[in-house]
Homo-oligomer: A and B are copies of this chain.
Amino acid sequence: MQRLFAIIGDPVKQARSPDVFNALAAERGVDAIMLSLHVGAEDFAGVLDGLSGVRNFEGAVVTIPHKRAAFLQCGSHGRAAEAAGVANVVRKTGDGLHGDLFDGFGMVNALRRAGVEPDGRSTLVVGAGGAGVAVAFALAEAGAAPIQVRDRDTDRCRQLVHQLTQSGYPACEFADDFQGLRLVVNCTPLGLDPADPLPVAPERLDPDCVVADAVMAGRATRLTAAASARGHAVVPGEEMLAGQMPAIWSFFGLPGETDISAAKR
Contacts and interface: CB of A to CB of B under 8 A. Distances in A.
Interface of A: 1-2, 4, 12-13, 33, 35-40, 43-44, 46-51, 53-57
14 contacts: A4-B35, A4-B37, A35-B35, A38-B55, A38-B56, A39-B53, A43-B54, A44-B53, A46-B49, A46-B53, A47-B50, A47-B54, A50-B51, A50-B53
Contact of A37 (B37, B43, B57): B57
What are the nearest 8 A-B pairs in CB distance?
A50-B50, A43-B53, A38-B55, A47-B53, A38-B56, A47-B50, A37-B54, A1-B13
A43 B4 CA distance: 17
Q: How many copies does the complex hold?
A: 2
Nearest to A56: B38
Given A13-B1, A49-B46, A50-B46, A55 B39 contact: yes
Contacts of A57: 37
Nearest to A10: B55
A39 B52 CA distance: 10
A3 to B, nearest CB: 11
Contact of A2 (B35, B43, B48, B50): B35
Contact of A50 (B13, B35, B36, B49): B49
Contacts of A48: 50
A50 B42 CA distance: 12
Contacts of A49: 46, 50
A133 B37 CA distance: 36
Nearest to A51: B50
A158 B13 CA distance: 53
B40 A55 contact: yes
Contacts of A12: 1
Given A46-B50, A49-B46, A56 B36 contact: yes
A214 B50 CA distance: 29
Nearest to A11: B1
A50 B37 CA distance: 11
A39 B39 CA distance: 21
Nearest to A36: B2
Nearest to A54: B37
A51 to B, nearest CB: 6
A39 B54 contact: yes
A54 B4 CA distance: 15
Contacts of A54: 37-39, 43, 47
Contact of A1 (B38, B43, B44, B46): B38
